[in-house]
Amino acid sequence: MGNLEKEPMFSAKNLNLFTAPLGKNNPITVQVLGICSALAVTVKLKPAIVMALSVTIVVAISNVVIAAMRKYIPDRIRIIVQLVVIATMVILVDQFLKAFVFDVSKQLSVFVGLIITNCILMGRLEAFAMANKPWPSFLDGIGNGAGYGIILVIVAFFRELLGSGTIYGYPVFEKIGVYSIGYENNGMMILPPMALIVVGLIIWFQRSRDKSLVEK
């Protein structure tokens, strides 16, 4: 294979791998994957952001590892191999967090372990990394992690603001004084069902703007 046939690293096709999951092919709002953790970690912004980062790192690295091995992975045990790679990555990330950034690891607590069960990871490995080269797989992983993260952050922003009256722990509503005119935090927002409703509103908003996403 000569240099002429080699694709540039940031070709339009490769960039699309990164940008598509942010909008038109978002893992949460379009593929409706990874909803479980989107409900659990979005009460406050901080865990949502850390979770988004951890998922991005794990999905990107697992994608690269699987893509590099894809020609040697026997078809019949590929799901097991994918799971082993994901689980190994998650345990390593957890161990490193515990040893070097202990406070972040405490913030995330059980959710690091729960990354293993996040459907987005298996979905990307099976649908993309098994059939593509490491570099596009890496971009795909970063894109999907970011697409997942962006929804998490939006949901967490509204749930924290309306449920606790704060943004990233900063008491906005108290500072602008809406409590004195009779406003009260909406306790519903901190309960899991409201995450589902907020995700639903985002899906509604996205589909009303982009009709091509609406099923026939």
Partner 1 sequence: MKQFSNRYIFIFSIVMVVSVATLLSLAATLLQPAQEKNLEIEKKKSMLESIGVPADWDNTEELYDKYIKESFVLNSKGEQVDGVDAFTVVLRNEQKKPLIEQYLPVFKATPDDGEKVTILPVEGKGLWGPIYGYVSLKSDMNTIYGVTFDHKGETPGLGAEINTSAFEDMFHGKKLFDIDKFVSIQVLKGGADPNDIHGVDAISGGTITSKGLEKMLVDCISKYNDYLLKNRI
Stretch that binds partner 1, among 17-25, 27-35, 74-82, 146-154 (CB under 8 A): 74-82
**Which helix H or strand E contains 19, and what residues bound it?**
helix 12-19
User: Counting contacts by CB under 8 A, is residue 184 touching partner 1?
Assistant: no
User: Counting contacts by CB under 8 A, is residue 76 touching partner 1?
Assistant: yes
Number of residues that bind partner 1 (CB under 8 A): 35
C-alpha dihedral sign at 189, 195, 196, 202: positive
Residue of 179, 169, 133, 198 whose CA lies nearest to 45: 169
Among 27, 30, 34, 44, binds partner 1 (CB under 8 A): 44
User: With respect to partner 1, which residue has the nearer C-beta, 5 or 100?
Assistant: 100
In the complex, the smallest distance separating the C-beta of residue 27 from partner 1, rounded to whole angstroms, is: 21
Residue of 103, 124, 139 whose CA lies nearest to 33: 124
Among 5, 103, 184, 215, binds partner 1 (CB under 8 A): 103
DSSP character at residue 191 = S
Among 5, 75, 184, 215, binds partner 1 (CB under 8 A): 75
In the complex, the smallest distance separating the C-beta of residue 42 from partner 1, rounded to whole angstroms, is: 9
Residue of 72, 53, 81, 47 whose CA lies nearest to 156: 47
Query: Residue 137, SS3?
Result: helix
**Which helix H or strand E contains 105, and what residues bound it?**
helix 102-108
User: Counting contacts by CB under 8 A, is residue 110 touching partner 1?
Assistant: yes
Question: What own/partner pairs with CB < 8 Å and gap ≥ 24 does 89-97 have?
Answer: 89/58, 89/61, 89/62, 89/65, 90/58, 90/115, 90/116, 93/54, 93/57, 93/58
Stretch that binds partner 1, among 20-28, 52-60, 78-86, 135-143 (CB under 8 A): 78-86
User: Half-sphere exposure (CA, 13 Å, Cβ side) for 208?
Assistant: 6
In the complex, the smallest distance separating the C-beta of residue 198 from partner 1, rounded to whole angstroms, is: 14
Among 13, 79, 98, 193, binds partner 1 (CB under 8 A): 98
In the complex, the smallest distance separating the C-beta of residue 190 from partner 1, rounded to whole angstroms, is: 5
The site for partner 1 (CB under 8 A) is made up of 40-41, 43-44, 47, 72-77, 80-81, 84, 88, 91-92, 95-96, 98-100, 102-103, 106-107, 109-110, 159-160, 163-164, 187, 190-191
